[in-house]
Amino acid sequence: MLDTAAPRRLPLAAGLGYKPQHFAGLMADPGPVRWLEIHAENYLGAGGRPLAQLRALAERFPISVHGVGLSIGGERPLDADHLARLRHLCDWLQPASFSEHLAWSTHDTGFLNDLLPLPYTDATLARVCTHIDRVQEVLGRRMLLENPATYLAFAESDRTEVEFLSEIARRTGCGLLLDVNNVFVSATNQGWDARAYIDAFPLDAVGEIHLGGHDEDRDEHGRPLLIDSHGRPVVGAVWALYAHTLARGGPRPTLIEWDTDVPPLPTLMAEAARAGALLSPVEAAR
């Protein structure tokens, strides 16, 4: 049984997105890895090896649960069965954090295997806030909302992404998950200043930071196009933006995401150690 007597918190240290092929290595020697994050939808079943391994990991590591299937920005009401299964997972696991994406992935009765962007309008703001209120009510916990990686902007948007996220946090009391790679990807694709975005971001609301890799391409006009692939090391410009974020807002639990072409555990540990090396002096200075 897990000890749920005291609330769990993510440490101000580096964590990894957990992959089953790394179970034995993490249990034997976690190195610089202080916490783990799972994708919720991989653990909504009734049993089997995945849940047994997760229970063992939860005895040793704080766990963050990251959802990818709620479709927070979708037009239809949230799926009640999906929410109930998330509640069951969070009830027994007692994770240190639960997060989801500012995106939509449902239409009518269909589910799309993508996290799609939203226009930043009064109507979508009201809908997202209603959905977040419902999530927090059902789960009985504060959730974090992640900024998206975007490839276009909607003409009907009447506020910036930072303004939109800030108002969501104000209205619902939710926290924010700041994906620094997503900021860099979106800024490059749309031609705005990534540092100015961080400077305007409500960093006091940030409960977790994500770092990941991206693929580089070109659009039909030959302009740079970055794809948030989570399949490469964090690039130097994103590390620099992360350091700027820490200098502005202080240390935050920081996750290394690597979801495709997953390398051996030592490669991921090296990325985690690099994040930890940037976190440590910031934490010590506070």
pLDDT less than 50: residues of the chain: 1-6, 106-108, 110-112
Q: Give me the number of domains the chain comprises.
A: 1
- C-alpha atoms less than 13 angstroms from C-alpha of 266 in its C-beta half-sphere: 0
Is residue 49, in this structure, part of any structural domain at all? yes
d(CA 120, CA 183): 16
Token duo for residue 170? 């104000």
CA dihedral 20, 21, 26, 32 (to 10 degrees): -100
Q: Which helix (H) or strand (E) holds 55?
A: helix 49-58
Q: Which of 7, 118, 119, 128 is nearest to 62 (CA)?
A: 7
Q: How far is CA 275 from CA 14, 134, 252, 258, in A?
A: 6, 34, 11, 14
Tell me the backbone φ, ψ of residue 92, rounded to 5 degrees. Answer: -85, -30
Q: pTM value?
A: 0.92
Is residue 117, in this structure, part of any structural domain at all? yes
Token duo for residue 252? 């935050």
Token duo for residue 262? 């997953």
- Going by their DSSP bridges, the two strands 206-212 and 35-39 should be labelled as unpaired
Domain limits for position 120: 14-284
Is residue 235, in this structure, part of any structural domain at all? yes
d(CA 18, CA 42): 11
Is residue 9, in this structure, part of any structural domain at all? no
The pLDDT of residue 88? 96
208 within 8 A of 255, measured Cβ to Cβ: yes
Which amino acid does the sequence have at 172? T
The pLDDT of residue 115? 58
Helix (H), strand (E) counts: the chain: 9, 12
d(CA 41, CA 54): 13
The pLDDT of residue 5? 40
d(CA 197, CA 183): 8
d(CA 253, CA 25): 22
Is residue 253, in this structure, part of any structural domain at all? yes
Is residue 3, in this structure, part of any structural domain at all? no
Q: How far is CA 55 from CA 47, 84, 141, 178, in A?
A: 11, 20, 20, 27
The pLDDT of residue 112? 43
In this structure, what CATH number is given to the domain that contains residue 71? 3.20.20.150
Residue corresponding to tokens 């924010």: 176
E-assigned strand segments in 124-277:
144-146, 175-179, 206-212, 215-218, 224-227, 254-257
Is residue 114, in this structure, part of any structural domain at all? yes
Is residue 64, in this structure, part of any structural domain at all? yes
Task: For Cα atoms 138, 257, 106, give the angle at the middle one, nearest 5 degrees.
Answer: 45
